């Protein structure tokens, strides 16, 4: 078999880490105001975008929702870590935000077995969200 012209392609793990990082930056930017401040929707505390955390409603171990914009929101460290993801409040917030039927659907979907993303998929996520980060950065720059 002929070798492809690419010399060193990044490993899947590296691509996944990069995709996680780019997507997390995107979510925190999306949920920032023009002063780059995030208000935690669960406890209302205000924090600089860089200190906010990207929380997943359906945990990251579910590949299907790992990079889903509706599944991810910027919250504070206290809600995410100390209150271990403030799950009851988060669930109620999700239900109000997206409707109870949709949240039930997400939960059902998360119970299915999903395949991990391919290297190409990760690259697509990186490209898409890098572009979105640039767009959002422009909007937020005052
Ligand atoms: Zn909070």
- Using alpha carbons only, give the angle 15, 21, 24 rounded to the nearest 5 degrees: 135
Q: Among 60, 86, 56, which residue's Cα sits nearest to residue 71? A: 56
Question: 69 C-alpha vs ligand 1 centroid, how far in Å?
Answer: 19
Distances (CA, A) of 65 to 5, 48, 49, 51, 107: 33, 26, 22, 23, 10
Question: 120 C-alpha vs ligand 1 centroid, how far in Å?
Answer: 35
Neighbours of ion ligand 1 (CB under 5 A): 40, 42-43, 76, 79
Question: 8 C-alpha vs ligand 1 centroid, how far in Å?
Answer: 42
Q: Please report the pLDDT score of residue 3 as a whole number.
A: 57
> Which residues, at least 6 apart from 34, have a Cβ–Cβ distance to it below 8 Å?
140, 142
DSSP state of 32: B
pLDDT digits (tens, 9 = 90+) for 26-36: 999 999 998 88
pLDDT digits (tens, 9 = 90+) for 54-112: 999 999 999 999 999 999 999 999 998 888 878 899 999 999 999 999 999 999 999 99
Output the pTM of the full model.
0.89
Question: 116 C-alpha vs ligand 1 centroid, how far in Å?
Answer: 30
Q: How far apart are CA 71 and CA 134, in angstroms?
A: 21
């Amino acid at each position: 078999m002929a070798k492809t012209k690419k010399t060193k392609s990044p490993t899947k793990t590296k691509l996944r880490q990069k995709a996680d990082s780019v997507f997390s930056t995107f979510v925190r930017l999306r949920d920032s105001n023009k002063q780059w401040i995030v208000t935690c929707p669960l406890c209302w505390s205000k924090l600089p975008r860089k200190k906010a955390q990207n929380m997943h409603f359906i945990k990251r171990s579910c590949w299907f929702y790992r990079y889903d914009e509706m599944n991810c929101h910027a919250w504070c460290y206290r809600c995410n870590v100390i209150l271990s993801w403030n799950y009851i409040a988060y669930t109620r917030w999700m239900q109000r935000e997206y409707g109870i039927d949709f949240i039930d659907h997400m939960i059902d979907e998360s119970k299915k077995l999903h395949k991990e993303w391919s290297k190409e998929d990760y690259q697509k996520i990186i490209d898409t969200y890098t572009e979105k980060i640039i767009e959002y950065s422009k909007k937020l720059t005052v």
